[in-house]
Amino acid sequence: MKGPMSMWLLALLIALLSLPVQAGDNPYQNWESWWQHYPDYVIESADFWVTDRSSQIMLSSLLLAQPVLWKTDGTTTPQIREAGLLPPSVMRFSEAWGRMYGVTLLTGVSVFRALHASPDDPREYQQLEYVLTGYGTTLALAGSLKYLVGRTRPDGRDDYSFPSGHTTLAFTTAEMTRQLYGNGWGSAAYLLAVLTGIERIQEERHWLGDVVTAAILSTTIARSLAPGQVASGTLEGIPLTKPVHGPPVISFSWPLPGGKPSFTIGP
């Protein structure tokens, strides 16, 4: 991502992708019905994001860790970069995954399934709504923070380092994949998200704090928006049949000095 403007434009583009789905004869293609439930869906999701215990722990931990991350970034970030954890081929793929592969794949699958859904079953449309809202929310937040914070990148190219846009997209993709398709696919998506975060640091585009912040914010937001997680995630009394999972288990350790970082992901 080159800056906040590109992220806001991408969020708008993702939202526009849902318009072709609004042309048929499905409950979710009725604008009156959509406007009746969508504000409640967003409000209740925001309430869940703030009041959920696991979200509170993750967000408060992030808030408390921010001063430490910013103070130690000058040491930890070069250590990760010098460790050379990822070979060039993996770095190229990880960068592309965070930039477009992940969001294109998940959005494309959701649009395809919605276009081929039964007119009497809104569940595929619920999932498309979830994916579009998730990407739109996290991208808009990340773009706004980039503009407001103005942190200089490690390579000095601009002042849009905080938080990492690639990492935001990758972890949003990971959590939404986990919510919609279970812990197996979700764990694979989380692994790709972690690789994306490492690549952004190793490529000298972001500080460690930029990546950690993007990961936690996007994960908690994507989880709070999950259909079935809130009451308004249903339409006309038809609930989702897809599983709604609890918070992922992600741990990060850094045995300083001289050690290498390690990540653990579990269902």
Domains defined for the chain, CATH in brackets: 4-14+53-266 (1.20.144)
Report, as an integer, the average pLDDT of 230-242. 43
Helix or strand holding residue 109 (H, E): helix 102-115
CB atoms within 10 A of CB 237: 5
Query: What is the structure's pLDDT at 44?
Result: 86
Report, as an integer, the average pLDDT of 186-201. 96
Q: Among 14-18, 118-122, 183-187, where is mean pLDDT lowest? A: 14-18
pLDDT higher than threshold 50 for residue 218: yes
Band of pLDDT at residue 23, cut at 50, 70 and 90: very low
Band of pLDDT at residue 252, cut at 50, 70 and 90: very low
Ramachandran assignment for 151, one of left (phi > 0), alpha (psi -120 to 50 degrees), beta (any other): beta
Query: What is the structure's pLDDT at 116?
Result: 82
With CA atoms as reference, report the closest residue to 200 among 149, 164, 171, 173: 164
Amino acid found at 121: D
For the chain, what is the mean pLDDT?
Answer: 80
- CA–CA separation, 199 vs 87, rounded Å? 10
User: Does residue 36 sit in helix, strand or coil?
Assistant: helix
With CA atoms as reference, report the closest residue to 127 among 58, 218, 43, 41: 41
Report, as an integer, the average pLDDT of 168-190. 93
- CA–CA separation, 136 vs 142, rounded Å? 10
Higher model confidence: residue 20 or residue 37? Answer: 37
- CA–CA separation, 40 vs 259, rounded Å? 48
Phi, psi of 264 (to 5 degrees): -130, 130
Ramachandran assignment for 118, one of left (phi > 0), alpha (psi -120 to 50 degrees), beta (any other): beta
In the chain the first and final C-alpha atoms are separated, in Å, by 30
**pTM of the full predicted structure?**
0.81
* C-alpha Rg value of the chain to the nearest Å: 19
User: Does residue 227 sit in helix, strand or coil?
Assistant: strand
Band of pLDDT at residue 42, cut at 50, 70 and 90: confident
Confirm if 168 and 196 have CB atoms less than 8 A apart: no
With CA atoms as reference, report the closest residue to 171 among 238, 224, 217, 118: 217
Phi, psi of 240 (to 5 degrees): -70, 145
Amino acid found at 247: P
- CA–CA separation, 202 vs 141, rounded Å? 24
How many percent of the chain have pLDDT more than 90? 49
Query: What is the structure's pLDDT at 15?
Result: 61
Amino acid found at 192: L
* Segment 97-147, tens digit of pLDDT: 999 999 999 999 988 888 887 766 777 878 888 998 899 899 989 989 998
Query: What is the structure's pLDDT at 41?
Result: 81
Query: What is the structure's pLDDT at 125?
Result: 79
CA 51 from chain centre, in angstroms, equals 19
Query: What is the structure's pLDDT at 227?
Result: 76
